[in-house]
Amino acid sequence: MIYDFSCYIDRLPYASSKWNMNTRPYQKGDMIPLWVADSDFTSPEAVKKAIRDYADFGVFGYTGNPHGLTAAVKGWLQRKHHWEIDESWLSFPGGVVASLFAAVRAFTAPGEKVIINDPVYPPFAAAIREQGREIAWNPLSYDGTRFTFDFAHLRSLFATADKPKMMILCSPHNAAGRVWTPEELKNLSDILLENDCLLVSDEIHFDLVWDEHEHFTAGRLGPKVMEKMIMLSSASKTFNVAGMHASYAVVPNEELRNAFNRQFTGSTQSNFIGKLALLACYTESDDYLEQMKAYIMGNFDFVIPAINQRLAPLKATRPEGTYLVWVDCRALQMEQKELMSWFLEDLKLRLNDGATFGPAGTGYIRLNCATPRMFLEEAVERIEANLKSR
């Protein structure tokens, strides 16, 4: 099937979080939401059909997993990410953020330290801080074009009596746009193993890697790492089914798996419609993914040179992974509040505030490119006109 990702779909009738500031279908000049990390694209045809068939079936009593679900996830990890798992390692705990919170509760005690690499997706910090644990910031280092891990700083975090117990890794990295290389991940996991530190690897963006970049899942870092890690992922970014909260966790070690799964006792996990969607994504939607990737790379072809040339002094690097562009606005020399209000009030562009991604995010904004290109074109025109008139 051929998909048209360039067409605008009015998402207001179904309470889109991203579009919730708008009160009418988009008209030129209205606020453009380029923040929340979902896409504005229709989901694969197979997903719509699976949900329609279930709606027509009409009996919505308690359920288990749809037939073939665990095999489908196993198959996806094998086909796309070259990782052989055992289906018994899987669980379906609703959203990835819920799993981050659960992992922090299950494997650390109040007051203990958890490492995150900022600038990073804000709920990483929330899962630690809001549950009474302490954040051990390990800021990514930046050479002006590319972010990398600061291994020396990471080692220094372990040179204290109260060593961090866990790292939450974002792979690929939201918002730095990096697809970590096997060498980087190997170095990282060696340090974690030496210090008996658990790895929680959030790989929700793992199918969205661009150009020559290839994702390397933490599951391929060898048997020792497998015994000390939790991998979290979902079809939600890849196929735009985030509203259905059908993520999954892969925990090879039985003891860790039981401790993790116990956190969900008594709570509702992924619902059946979400699981049907996940099954349809992973078994019948490869054509969608290929076409969407091509469309998003086309968006980068437009927006990255536009930012660097037409919107200078703003700067951006083409992401290696994720549909999120991390825009360096520091040369504008605005206070963060002033910067965000310039985008929102003056330009009517709703973007993510870089400062919410940790101390290393000040001076940046995050731009979501999983949208019809016309919105990116309109956003660039607005910023360009405003910069010229300053």
Ligand X SMILES: Cc1ncc(COP(=O)(O)O)c(C=O)c1O
Residue bearing tokens 């051929």: 2
Residue 46 CA to residue 33 CA, distance in Å, equals 27
Residue 277 CA to residue 50 CA, distance in Å, equals 7
Q: Among 259, 317, 319, 332, which Cα is nearest to 293's?
A: 319
Residues in contact with ligand X, counted by CB under 6 A, come to a total of 13
Q: 263 and 242 in contact (C-beta within 8 Å)?
A: no
- CB-wise, 80 or 330, nearer to ligand X? 80
Distances (CA, A) of 322 to 176, 265, 330: 9, 32, 22
- Asked if 250 is part of the footprint of ligand X (rule: CB under 6 A), the reply reads no
Q: 38 and 370 in contact (C-beta within 8 Å)?
A: yes
- CB-wise, 174 or 306, nearer to ligand X? 174
Q: Which of 121, 147, 248, 288 binds ligand X (CB under 6 A)?
A: 121
CB of 242 to ligand X, least distance (A): 5
User: Which range binds ligand X by CB under 6 A, 25-33, 63-71, 94-102, 345-353?
Assistant: 94-102
CB of 361 to ligand X, least distance (A): 14
Q: Which of 69, 73, 85, 97 binds ligand X (CB under 6 A)?
A: 97
CB of 223 to ligand X, least distance (A): 26
User: Among residue numbers 33 through 62, which ones bind ligand X (CB under 6 A)?
Assistant: 37
Q: 164 and 117 in contact (C-beta within 8 Å)?
A: no
- CB-wise, 180 or 378, nearer to ligand X? 180
Q: How many CB atoms lie within 10 A of CB 262?
A: 12
CB of 36 to ligand X, least distance (A): 7
Q: Which of 40, 112, 118, 202 binds ligand X (CB under 6 A)?
A: 202
Q: Which of 43, 117, 189, 236 binds ligand X (CB under 6 A)?
A: 236
Six-digit token pair at 148? Answer: 């990398």
- Asked if 189 is part of the footprint of ligand X (rule: CB under 6 A), the reply reads no
User: Which range binds ligand X by CB under 6 A, 44-52, 92-100, 106-114, 143-151?
Assistant: 92-100
- Asked if 371 is part of the footprint of ligand X (rule: CB under 6 A), the reply reads no
Alpha helices in 252-388 (DSSP H): 254-262, 272-284, 286-305, 336-341, 373-388
Residue spans of beta strands (DSSP E) within 51-112: 90-91
- Chain residues binding ligand X by CB under 6 A are 37, 95-97, 121, 170, 174, 202, 204, 234, 236, 242, 247
